[in-house]
Amino acid sequence: MEGKFKTVNSSRVTISQLMLPSYTNFSGKIHGGYLLSLLDQIAFACASKYSGNYCVTASVDTVNFLAPIEVGELVTLKASVNYVGNSSMIVGIRVEAENIQTGKVKHCNSSYFTMVAKDENGKNTKVPGLIIKNQDEVRRFYNCLKQIATKKEFDKYEEAFDYKSDEALLALKEHNVKVELN
């Protein structure tokens, strides 16, 4: 892969599926778990298409459920690679639901998955560099850089913070929690 670059457009994948009653939760809306399965499938397809390798989900970074999806709506998932590292890619996914009777389309979900390319032996393998061609692609790439930095800060904070200290336990009293440690 040394020196190879690909465009964001070369990663784009779109999947559409009619929502059936068997996909619903107890309130009659499409189950979030079912949608997560579709999100993972399109993230895999997008990352594999871009990298030319089998890819695995390293993390589900963001899943924002913005509007419920109804039975009978046509759901379209649109994915593209927004960021590449050495062997990793951040795939952005937009989910829209269309009422096929009225034609009304609503934005239902935005998600970001970190995918990692694997070689035939299951080892991480290098992915092509990313060619960015417009301001939206620049914005998405920068947002991924911010997302990565935030994740690293959170990990650092998790490692350094002493949850057992008297100070930490006292600070919990400011929240709607009662601490009863044995």
Span 105-160, pLDDT tens digits: 999 999 999 999 999 999 999 999 999 999 999 999 999 999 999 999 988 887 77
User: How large is the average pLDDT for residues 56-67?
Assistant: 97
Q: Please, what's the b/e burial string for 148-157 (b: 16 or more CB within 10 A of its CB; e: otherwise)?
A: beeeeeeeee
Task: Return d(Cα 40, Cα 47) in angstroms, integer.
Answer: 11
pLDDT tens by residue, 6-45: 999 999 999 999 999 999 999 999 999 999 999 999 999 9
The reported pLDDT for the residue numbered 133 is: 97
What sign results for the dihedral spanned by CA atoms 139, 140, 145, 146? positive
38: how many CB neighbours lie within 10 A of its CB?
18
118 by Cβ neighbours in 10 Å (0-12 / 13-18 / 19+) ranks as middle
75 contacts 95 by C-beta, under 8 angstroms? yes
Q: Give me the residue spans of the domains in the chain.
A: 5-132
Longest alpha-carbon distance in the chain: 60
Token pair recorded at residue 79: 């994915």
Task: Return d(Cα 56, Cα 116) in angstroms, integer.
Answer: 5
User: How large is the average pLDDT for residues 58-73?
Assistant: 97
C-alpha distance from residue 70 to each of 23, 46, 128 (Å): 10, 26, 38
**Topology annotation, domain 5-132:** Thiol Ester Dehydrase; Chain A (3.10.129)
The reported pLDDT for the residue numbered 161 is: 77
How much is the pTM? Answer: 0.90
